[in-house]
Structure 1
Amino acid sequence: MTGTSFFSLEKIAEGRSGGTTQAESRVYNERLIVSLIRRHGQLAKTDLTRLTGLAAQTITTIVNRAADNKLLLRLEPLRGRLGQPSVPYALNPKAAYAFGLKVDHRSADVALVNFVGDVMAFERTLFDYPTPVEVMKFAKGAIARMCRKHKSIEKDRIAGLGIASPFHQWNLSEEGAVPAGRLDAWKEIDIRAELDRAFDWPVFLYNDATVSAAAELMFGAGGSRADFLYAYVGHFIGGGLVLDHHLFPGRNKLAGALGDMPVPAPGRKGDRMTPLLRLASLHSLAGKLNDQDNGEKDAGRIWSSPDDWGDLGEPVTAWIDEVSDGLAYAARSAVALLDIDNVVIDGAIPNGVRKEIAKAMRRKLARILVDRPEPFSVIEGTFGHLGPVIGGASIPLLVKYSNDKELLFKE
């Protein structure tokens, strides 16, 4: 949607996350330790030695340096066990911060997030249909206000700004969701490059559903799962993919893009297929609501109140059934192709609706996947409508402090 550039190499700190020089190995090992502590919550040096295979002296050197640099916090010793008390380390929430900017078809969000995913500040604005100029003005103003409010944050602790945006939004006018004329400006302006010129820190752009999966991996329910398919039900449906504890964006940064996946059309016996985005999206729900009395007002609630739609009646019940059908079919396909054990369901939807979708999926998949060696799990996501903006903020943190950096920047 927002141009062709994803990041600017000039502002990314030196130190690749993989390589053979001593300096590169040191950076990689520190990021590995930070990633392991993020995944487990807290770990002692003995745990890190066991998990990494590195020498105890190497672990001690890296952990002590990370603690001195305020990346890690030394917690109280764990007593009552055999031998010397074990001293666990945890991530320091104040070690780093990042801004996230989410842009979709009706709104824009900006959030300031700390090293462990806590939202320190948040602003939202609504549009009929956003233009690049409106979004950039809002983003610059919101970030300036947040910086003034949080003056205690040192400038070098800000890792950057991550933009979460639908890719190639101008194609969506074919679905009737956005007037074609409103999309022309997005073809001409690279919002990432424009915002990169406005700030000293690096600015990144990734698909909104991909970064939502990153948020779930780094800060949410996905952190303890080795792999999962992530589905985000928003204006349209998107997805992301995590394999072996690592975000897997794919060659074109679109791995897990579920919207175009063909699934059986409702009311048919499998003899006609339709793209999943035509079933599992707020756009499709709005179409159902608009067919009812008071429909325009009810449809407006799903855009303006993602946490609470109130009682929208039978159209939502029918929509949940269609969404769970489509997602269950997509999950079966992902299991067959990737041998994954989990799917995470989230979106700009109320908690109760998300719960009903997950419950229906579990019921529909129970018999089909019963013979798998490992139980298959349908997990409710953590962040709801905040997933993309928190995910946007997760990207600068992932780039600077995770051993996933090479994966994101692979050409």
Structure 2
Amino acid sequence: MTGNSYYSLEKDAEARSGGTTQAETRVYNERLILSLIRRRGQLSKVELTRLTGLSAQTITTIVNRAADNGLLVRLEPLRGRLGQPSVPYALDPQGVYSFGLKIDRRSADMALINFLGEVVAFDRTTFNYPTPDEVMTFGRAAIAKMLRKNRDIATNRIAGLGIASPFHLWNWSEEIGAPPGSLAAWKQIDIRAELDREYEWPVYLFNDAMVSAGAELMFGSGAGRADFLYAYIGYFIGGGLVLDHHLFPGRNKRAGSLGDMPVPAPKGSGTDTVPLLQTASLFTLAKKLNGHGADIWASPDEWGDLGRPLGEWIDEVSDGLAFAIKGAVALIDVDNVVIDGAIPASVRKDIARQTRLKLARLLADRPEPFSVLEGTYGHMGPAIGGATIPLLVNYSNDKDVLFKD
């Protein structure tokens, strides 16, 4: 992690259990209703009563209050059915906004999204290696610029700022070619606390790949799917895990960390196994390009013609992913994997297609079909994922983030 604090409970078994107050029950019901409407697109009070088992009076109170607070919008009645016209409610896109800051080993992104996950504004910068001063200077400037350009957004509608960052950035100096000691400042600074002092909304910090899985859960390819494993191919590969419609970070906030999983080494490497991050990561592709891979950092949406090295890399990535996914599926029994990354859409499609073909053989004996899905956001995933965290914390019934503040 960056610095020495992040959004978490103490690792105390007793802290995860206990009673529920009446106020917490009310908040949970409100967030359950918002989550159901987000998942279904629109629902009437009658449908919410049926889905939740709550009384019609309770549903009416919660829905009316959410509409009065600008979180829900009343749609046109649905006529032509038996009985009274049904009045559906949907999330109000302008009800809530959220910022997301992605810190990577070569770049930083800032995204501003609305309540539906639509990107209102986006900014990006690149550097040879990240320093706290550079990242915070960029973050402050990007937020100020986005607020100037969107003056109609009231600050009380901003749910927060979510920071998506690799943990322990100071350990990667050699891997990213940074001068020795150049990343040591990350040991002393707590970027979450520094930015939290500057803004009236809360600031959160989570692992970058994990929050990208949160973005897919709420707004992307994973929306509506109960379980999925998530893989994000960036400078290194990372991952996340969704179980029963909930983001599952794990006790150490590292659940789904695919990069550490051992996989068969590529032919000719002189070893039997390597961590997945040594084959399914962009730094491996950059090495294959023999110093000609600058475009993969500067233009993640368009790489141009990289020739044979790209094809070889895609084959190695899909080999490693298929092996790692097979092991993960044997343990957690999910039916889907979502593959994304700071890569062009055409490359993502090829990786997903090859992984799908290889898993068809490896998982042929499963009673239920296994789906390999393409992610939605590409290089914007971690920034949008960071912006998703304040929405998960404040407006969802996610059992691993609710009531943890």
TM-score, normalised to structure 1's length?
A: 0.92
For residues 353-402 of structure 1, the C-alpha deviation after alignment (integer angstroms, 9 at most, x for no partner) is 00000000110011322332321100000000000000001111111111
Answer 1 or 2: which has greater helix percent: 1
Amino acid at match of 1:363: L
State which of 313, 327, 334 in structure 1 corresponds to 2:328.
334
For residues 22-42 of structure 1, the C-alpha deviation after alignment (integer angstroms, 9 at most, x for no partner) is 222111100001011111111
Q: How does 1:288-299 map to 2 (within 5 A)?
A: 288-290=288-290, 296-297=291-292, 299=293
State which of 384, 390, 395 in structure 1 corresponds to 2:384.
390
Residues 218, 259 of structure 1: alpha-carbon distance in 2 compared, 3 angstrom cutoff: same
Residue 173 of structure 2 aligns to a residue whose secondary structure is helix
Amino acid at match of 1:238: G
For residues 86-133 of structure 1, the C-alpha deviation after alignment (integer angstroms, 9 at most, x for no partner) is 221111111111111111011111111111111111111111112101
Runs of 4+ in 1 over 3 A off after TM superposition: 173-180, 268-271, 405-411
Higher mean C-alpha displacement, 197-206 vs 77-86: 77-86
State how far apart, in whole Å, the 1-side matches of 2:403 and 2:318 are: 34
State which of 305, 311, 320 in structure 1 corresponds to 2:299.
305
Structure 1 residue 157, shift from structure 2 partner: 0.7
For residues 4-35 of structure 1, the C-alpha deviation after alignment (integer angstroms, 9 at most, x for no partner) is 211499xxxxxxxx953322211110000101
Residues 156, 272 of structure 1: alpha-carbon distance in 2 compared, 3 angstrom cutoff: same
Residue aligning to 2:108: 108
Decide whether the 8 Å contact of 2:396 with 2:402 is kept in 1. Answer: no
For residues 34-83 of structure 1, the C-alpha deviation after alignment (integer angstroms, 9 at most, x for no partner) is 01111111112222122211112211211111111111111112223333
Decide whether the 8 Å contact of 1:163 with 1:206 is kept in 2. Answer: yes
Higher mean C-alpha displacement, 61-70 vs 206-215: 61-70
State how far apart, in whole Å, the 1-side matches of 2:269 and 2:295 are: 33
For residues 186-207 of structure 1, the C-alpha deviation after alignment (integer angstroms, 9 at most, x for no partner) is 1111111111111111111100
Amino acid at match of 1:317: G
Residue aligning to 1:14: none
Residues 97, 260 of structure 1: alpha-carbon distance in 2 compared, 3 angstrom cutoff: same
State how far apart, in whole Å, the 2-side matches of 1:176 and 1:208 are: 17
State how far apart, in whole Å, the 2-side matches of 1:122 and 1:39 are: 25
Amino acid at match of 1:55: S
State how far apart, in whole Å, the 1-side matches of 2:77 and 2:241 are: 37
State how far apart, in whole Å, the 2-side matches of 1:269 and 1:46 are: 62
State how far apart, in whole Å, the 1-side matches of 2:180 and 2:382 are: 24
Residue 224 of structure 1 aligns to a residue whose secondary structure is coil
Amino acid at match of 1:134: E
Residue aligning to 1:198: 198
State which of 328, 349, 353 in structure 2 corresponds to 1:355.
349
Residue aligning to 1:163: 163
Residue aligning to 1:40: 40
State how far apart, in whole Å, the 2-side matches of 1:379 and 1:274 are: 25
Q: How does 1:242-253 map to 2 (within 5 A)?
A: 242-253=242-253
Identity %, equivalent residues:
72
Task: State how many pairs are aligned.
Answer: 398
Structure 1 residue 170, shift from structure 2 partner: 2.1
Higher mean C-alpha displacement, 346-355 vs 265-274: 265-274
Residue 223 of structure 1 aligns to a residue whose secondary structure is coil
RMSD, matched Cα = 2.1
Gaps of 5+ in 2: 10-17
TM-score, normalised to structure 2's length?
A: 0.94
Residue 211 of structure 1 aligns to a residue whose secondary structure is helix
Amino acid at match of 1:150: N
Structure 1 residue 407, shift from structure 2 partner: 3.6
State how far apart, in whole Å, the 2-side matches of 1:273 and 1:409 are: 42
State how far apart, in whole Å, the 2-side matches of 1:94 and 1:8 are: 29
Q: How does 1:163-312 map to 2 (within 5 A)?
A: 163-173=163-173, 175=175, 177-267=177-267, 272-290=272-290, 296-297=291-292, 299-312=293-306
State how far apart, in whole Å, the 2-side matches of 1:154 and 1:319 are: 46
User: Is residue 364 of structure 1 aligned with residue 358 of structure 2?
Assistant: yes
Residue aligning to 1:150: 150
Higher mean C-alpha displacement, 121-130 vs 79-88: 79-88
Decide whether the 8 Å contact of 2:75 with 2:90 is kept in 1. Answer: yes
Amino acid at match of 1:301: D
Decide whether the 8 Å contact of 1:307 with 1:349 is kept in 2. Answer: yes
Amino acid at match of 2:83: G
Decide whether the 8 Å contact of 2:7 with 2:206 is kept in 1. Answer: no
Amino acid at match of 2:356: R
Amino acid at match of 1:38: R
State how far apart, in whole Å, the 2-side matches of 1:221 and 1:277 are: 23
Residue 117 of structure 1 aligns to a residue whose secondary structure is coil
Residue 259 of structure 1 aligns to a residue whose secondary structure is helix
Higher mean C-alpha displacement, 384-393 vs 262-271: 262-271
Residue 139 of structure 2 aligns to a residue whose secondary structure is helix
Residue 289 of structure 2 aligns to a residue whose secondary structure is helix
Gaps of 5+ in 1: 10-17, 291-295
Q: How does 1:60-139 map to 2 (within 5 A)?
A: 60-139=60-139
